[in-house]
Amino acid sequence: MKKGDVKKVVLAYSGGLDTSIILRWLQDEYDCEVVTFTADIGQGEELEPARQKAEMMGIKEIYIEDLREEFVRDYVFPMFRANTLYEGVYLLGTSIARPLIGKRLVEIAEATGADAVSHGATGKGNDQVRFELTAYALKPDIKIIAPWRTWDLHSRTKLIEYAMRHQIPVPKDKHGEAPYSMDANLLHISYEGKALENPWTEPSEDMFRLTVSPEAAPDKAQYIEVDFECGDAVAIDGEKLTPAALLAKLNEIGGRHGVGRLDLVENRYVGMKSRGVYETPGGTILQVAHRAVESLTLDREVMHLRDELMPRYAKLIYNGFWFAPERLMLQAAIDQTQQTVTGTARLKLYKGNVSVVGRKAAKSLYRMDYVTFEEDTVYDQHDAEGFIKLNALRLRLGKMARDS
């Protein structure tokens, strides 16, 4: 695209150095009107400075929206119904935030008559894919501007020089090389780059924002109870909370006990491996609690089938296919499994660990009269003999055939 091809663009704007430079670059490169969109998804930063900076740069249409409840209710909770983990460990804190931001970019573009959207994701990362797949899925004719793939500002030094040349305020800590980059929302904080690029280097303890180190956590364990209704958490210790408030409280509790740290080398969708460090205290607790309630309330074959589907579902979210038909199909199946997942998990938090110490459900499939080691009147142990022989029949026939 060149100057004149775009009349109005909606920019995902954080108010930080990079997106402020992008804002000015869009104005210069395309001579177009820019609309800024800043989402509060629980990153813990004051957003009013983003408005002030956008106004200072001549922006007339500024959108700043609190999306915390929508984020947890419509994105985090549906994902957690599947106990979703990418590559067995990652709770997808960054991945799950991108479709919501991308959706709002498109909606604001339609509301303001913009013909393009823009983001600050780099050409090496996953986020460019997530934003753009979302945009194209919801508005096939949308134009997308990804500055990091087209401009020549490919170093921190060049970015700062550009900012100084155009009177864009540069935070003092940006004049030096930061040890890592950070992305935060209500589900997690991710850290990557710089000092962390060496996978042998241990993260510095002063890097972490949400959690204390397990060594510094209290010497006394804390017990909590998490209530679920149809697969979603609704209360902590009997206190009903909104989705966002509940996750925020679990973050506070888990962070105090050093829960939810993860150091991971993952496979990016664009083909390279990447080392990231994550803090997901509330999500870690939520996942353990949800699984505990499911252990009482889910049919065996339903649970096993859902668990087989989960890696594919996780891969779709990680790769940016939240609005793809196959993810929607899997979500419908996953949501169906959760109709019976209502109950309470009792957890023990201690020195970075979350342990299940109790679970209960009104419609539990766990029956004391069947599982007891004492004498019972409901289970005929002789039935097991025929059950075993029928299951062994093909094994016996196979061995006989091989030996003949």
Q: Work out the number of other CB atoms within 10 angstroms of the CB of residue 81.
A: 21
Query: Do 202 and 152 belong together in one domain?
Result: no
Residue 104 annotated in active site: no
Query: Do 329 and 197 belong together in one domain?
Result: yes
Q: What is the pLDDT of residue 264?
A: 97
Report how far residue 241's alpha carbon sits from residue 238's, in angstroms, rounded to the nearest whole number: 9
Active-site position among 127, 261, 306, 327: 127
Q: What is the pLDDT of residue 287?
A: 98
The series of mean pLDDT values per 10 residues for the chain, 404 residues long, is 87 93 95 97 91 94 98 98 98 98 98 97 95 98 96 88 89 60 95 93 95 98 98 98 98 98 97 96 98 98 98 98 98 98 98 98 92 79 94 97 95
Active-site position among 18, 40, 227, 232: 18
Active-site position among 24, 68, 81, 98: 98
Dihedral, CA atoms, 205, 206, 211, 213, nearest 10 degrees?
30
Domain range for 280 is: 181-360
Residue 274 annotated in active site: no
Query: Do 201 and 156 belong together in one domain?
Result: no
Query: Do 309 and 395 belong together in one domain?
Result: no
CB 299 within 8 A of CB 112: no
Query: What is the pTM (predicted TM-score) of this model?
Result: 0.94
Query: Do 153 and 192 belong together in one domain?
Result: no
Residue 133: what residue type?
L
Residue 18 annotated in active site: yes
Q: Which of 174, 204, 237 is the last residue of a domain?
A: 174
Q: What is the pLDDT of residue 173?
A: 57
| Residue 159 CB-density burial (10 A; 0-12 exposed, 13-18 middle, 19+ buried) | buried
Residue 181 annotated in active site: yes
- How many domains, the chain? 3
- 218, part of any domain: yes
Query: Do 158 and 50 belong together in one domain?
Result: yes
CB 142 within 8 A of CB 6: no
Active-site position among 73, 74, 115, 181: 181
User: What's 120's domain CATH number?
Assistant: 3.40.50.620
Query: Do 199 and 275 belong together in one domain?
Result: yes
| Residue 327 CB-density burial (10 A; 0-12 exposed, 13-18 middle, 19+ buried) | buried
Q: Which of 174, 203, 223 is the last residue of a domain?
A: 174
Report how far residue 241's alpha carbon sits from residue 10's, in angstroms, rounded to the nearest whole number: 34
Query: Do 246 and 378 belong together in one domain?
Result: no
